[in-house]
Amino acid sequence: MLLLAAALACSRSPGRDPAIAIDLDIDTTAAIPPAKTHHMGREIAQTMHFTGAPWLVRESRQREEDCRMLIEALGIKRGQTVCDLGCGNGFYTLELARRVGPTGTVWASDIQVEMLRMLVENAAEARLKNIRPVLGTPIDPRLPKAAVDLVLCVDVYHEFSHPDAMLARVHESLADDGVLVLAEFRGEDPAVPIKPLHKMTKAQVRAELGAAGFRLAREFDRLPWQHLMMFVKDEGAAGPGSPP
């Protein structure tokens, strides 16, 4: 009886709601090539460690980055399927979940399970159930194919150790009119107080995304520190991974 009570208490505790259980089912047999150090002339930044997660929810983030303006600029609609790729502890995931509403879905993918555990705790506290946390690998965010309306990467893309593979999988995951949105700290702007490796220039983003079969559809230039660049699939281009 005592054991049953303990099991029930445990299953009801925040973060253990099966509606937002983490999908941990990665293919452990898939070979992951060595991490790249450079990509198209850019040095790739180290992954932000999960112990740094409090920085993502710091009190000054709204003032410094105007996160509300960023999310407004996305034009999220109720019922959409979106993905917060490199979601960290879920700072943006929760707001995306509110905006797509109960008929929508937010896939939240990250390569650090500790980040996903924090996200699940935060989602449970906010009573949000339309989030699908998924453990990704450095070469695969494990998203459904041709199904996602919008993939959001905030302060993430410059950390991808295998950008080609990640962009190829994102390309496959997007619906025909799906959008990939990158928010990257402005590499051209010395006033943005972020380490250079964690910044990108517009020219570099355009070159890398263009090579991966994406076309720039729109830019939003009013954020205090970041570029916000929206890409669609460039059907005229050789797709990612196509033969030369």
Ligand X SMILES: C[S@@+](CC[C@H](N)C(=O)[O-])C[C@H]1O[C@@H](n2cnc3c(N)ncnc32)[C@H](O)[C@@H]1O
Of 213, 217, 197, nearest to 164 by C-alpha is 213
The span from the CA of 73 to the CA of 189, in Å, is 21
154 touches ligand X by CB under 6 A: yes
Q: How far is the CB of 68 from ligand X (least distance, A)?
A: 14
- Kindly tell me which residue out of 106, 124, 148, 156 binds ligand X, with binding defined by CB under 6 A: 156
Q: How far is the CB of 20 from ligand X (least distance, A)?
A: 17
The span from the CA of 83 to the CA of 121, in Å, is 18
Of 102, 93, 117, nearest to 22 by C-alpha is 117
Of 96, 32, 93, 61, nearest to 185 by C-alpha is 61
Q: How far is the CB of 177 from ligand X (least distance, A)?
A: 23
List all residues 6 or more positions away from 85 whose beta carbon is below 8 Å from its beta carbon: 109, 136, 141, 143, 151, 152, 153, 156, 170
The span from the CA of 20 to the CA of 128, in Å, is 8
What part of residues 92-131 is at the interface with ligand X (CB under 6 A)? 92, 109-112, 115
The span from the CA of 66 to the CA of 25, in Å, is 35
Rank residues 82 and 154 by Cβ distance to ligand X and give the closer one.
154
Rank residues 74 and 115 by Cβ distance to ligand X and give the closer one.
115
Q: How far is the CB of 232 from ligand X (least distance, A)?
A: 21
Contact window for ligand X (CB under 6 A) among 123-131, 152-160, 169-177, 233-241:
152-160
At 149, list the tokens: 């309306």
The span from the CA of 181 to the CA of 67, in Å, is 14
Q: How far is the CB of 115 from ligand X (least distance, A)?
A: 5
- Kindly tell me which residue out of 95, 159, 184, 208 binds ligand X, with binding defined by CB under 6 A: 159
What part of residues 34-93 is at the interface with ligand X (CB under 6 A)? 47-48, 56, 85-88, 91-92
Rank residues 110 and 208 by Cβ distance to ligand X and give the closer one.
110
Rank residues 88 and 240 by Cβ distance to ligand X and give the closer one.
88
Of 64, 196, 80, nearest to 91 by C-alpha is 64
User: Residues in contact with ligand X, total (CB under 6 A)?
Assistant: 23
Contacts with ligand X, residue ranges (CB under 6 A): 47-48, 56, 85-88, 91-92, 109-112, 115, 136, 138, 141, 154-156, 159-160, 166
